[in-house]
Structure 1
Amino acid sequence: MTRLLSTGRSTLSYPDRGATLRQPLPAGYHHLHHRTRIGRGRAAFEAAGSAVTGFRMHRATGATVRADGPAATGARVEIGLGAGPLRITVPCEVVWTTDAPDRAGFAYGTLTGHPECGEESFLVELAADGTVWFEVTAFSRPAAWYTRLAGPLVPLLQRGYARLLGHHLRRLAAAA
C-alpha cells in the first residue's frame, strides 16, 4: 500500500509532491534514475526493504541520519553528508511510503534550507523471477548558491551517491 501525505501545511521547497510515483518526472529539473541488482529471494528483499525504510542503508554510507523512527509519511528527516567543515545537513520530509508484498520504500522531498530542490525515492522490488532490485529515482535543481556554482558536478555526485547506496544495500541484504 502506498501512502501519500495530503496537501496542507508544509515547507517543501518544490510544488511537485509525490512526483517520483509517476512518469514522466516533472520538467525543469535534473532527473536521476539508477537501478541496482541487490540479490535473490524473499529474505534478501525483506532485509533490503528494512535497511531502506529504517535508514540503515544511508547510515552505511557514512551519512548521519536524524529521524524519530523508520520512514513514515509526514516524518521529518535530516541527513548529514560530507566531512569536517564541508559537512552539510539536509532537511527532508517523507512524502510517500510503500509496504507491499513485492515493494518497499519511500520518497522524501526537500525542505527549505536544503541545497537542492526536489524529491528522491528509494524503492526495493522483488521481481517475479526472484531478483531483488533497488531503484533510486529523483528530480532536483539547485536551491543554494554553492549548488548552482557546482553546476554539472552535482548530478555526477548524486549518481555516485545512488551507486554507493546500492553497493551498501547489497552488502546489508547479503549479511541478513
Structure 2
Amino acid sequence: MAGKLFLSWTRPTQEQQQNCTAIAGGFNYNTTLQGTSALSAEDKILQDNLAKNGFFINRARVLLGTGSITYALAKSAVLTWRQFGLKWAFVDPQTPVEKGRRFCVCVNEFFPWVMMPLQIAYVADASIQPPSAAGIKDSFGFGSGTLQGHLLVGEERFSVQWDEDDRVWYEIFSFSKPAHIISAIGLPYVRFRQKCFARQSAEAMVKHVSAQKPKIEDI
C-alpha cells in the first residue's frame, strides 16, 4: 500500500502537474467500478454494495437557485472547476472536461503540497443525450477515477441538475478507500476532510453562481 506519492514544496506549477499525470500509471481501482458514480447516490443497493467493499461514501447536495440562467451558470462553473474554489485545494481551471483527460487535484493540508492524479472516466450531458431520470429538465456532470499515485482508491462525480420544479441543484458524490499507508493510518482525518471538502465545494458553487447572476440578469 506504500506506492508513489507526488509532492511539491511550493504551489504546484502546470508543468509539475503534467509530469505527475504523465507518470501516474492507470486507474488504481477495479475497472468494473468505472462509471459507478454516475448512478444515483440515493440508491440503497449501490450504497450497500460499496460499503461491503470497504468504500466510504461522501455526498453533498445544495440548491443553487431556479431557472435557465442559474442552470447555465452552474454548468459553466463545473466546466471551469469553480467547485474547487478553495484556498487549500485546486484543479487547473484550464483543464478541459472530456472523457480520458488526466488532471491533478492539488492539496495543501499541511506542508508540502500533494498532487493527486485522476482521469475523467465519463461525461454525462443531457443536452446531448436526454436524461433517463423522470422529472429532470436538464443535467450535466462528470466522474473522475483515481490513478496510481493517488492517496485514495475510488471515483468522484460533480454534477448539476435542473428539475421540473425549475430548481437547480449541485451535487458531489464519491466513494473511496485508502490506497496509501498515509491515508490508511490517517483514515478518520481523511474522511473528515472529505466531508469538509464536499461542504466547502457546495458553498463555493453557491457563492459563485449567486455572484454571477446579477451580472447576467442586468444585461
Alignment CA distance shift 1:68-1:175 (3 Å): closer
From 158, 167, 179, the counterpart of 1:122: 158
Which residue does 1:173 correspond to in 2? Answer: 209
Deviates more, 1:28-37 or 1:156-165: 28-37
Query: Is 1:97 equivalent to 2:99 in the alignment?
Result: no
Which residue does 1:110 correspond to in 2? Answer: 146
- Superposition map of 1:143-158 within 5 A: 143-158=179-194
Distance 2:65 2:195 in 1: 21
From 4, 13, 19, the counterpart of 2:28: 13
Distance 1:174 1:85 in 2: 33
Q: Judging by fraction of residues, say which structure has more strand.
A: 1
Give the CA RMSD over aligned residues. 1.7
Distance 1:87 1:100 in 2: 36
Contact 2:80-2:93 within 8 A present in 1 as well? no
Query: Is 1:82 equivalent to 2:82 in the alignment?
Result: no
Contact 1:45-1:173 within 8 A present in 2 as well? no
Consecutive unaligned residues in structure 2, runs of 5 or more: 1-24, 128-137, 213-219
Contact 2:65-2:167 within 8 A present in 1 as well? yes
For this pair of structures, how many residues does the alignment match? 166
Distance 1:151 1:172 in 2: 31
Distance 1:46 1:125 in 2: 10
Query: Is 1:61 equivalent to 2:86 in the alignment?
Result: yes
When normalised by structure 2's length, the TM-score is 0.71
Q: Percent identity?
A: 28
Distance 1:115 1:83 in 2: 13
Contact 2:142-2:158 within 8 A present in 1 as well? yes
AA aligned to 1:138 is: S
Deviations along 1:2-47, one digit per CA (max 9) or x if unpaired, are: xxxxxxxx70010111111224153321111221111111111111
Corresponding residue SS for 1:118: strand
Contact 1:67-1:76 within 8 A present in 2 as well? no
Query: Is 1:33 equivalent to 2:56 in the alignment?
Result: no
Distance 1:86 1:166 in 2: 26
When normalised by structure 1's length, the TM-score is 0.87
Contact 1:67-1:78 within 8 A present in 2 as well? no
AA aligned to 2:183 is: T
The runs of 4+ residues in structure 1 deviating greater than 2 Å are 25-28, 66-70
Deviates more, 1:145-154 or 1:19-28: 19-28
Deviates more, 1:111-120 or 1:14-23: 14-23
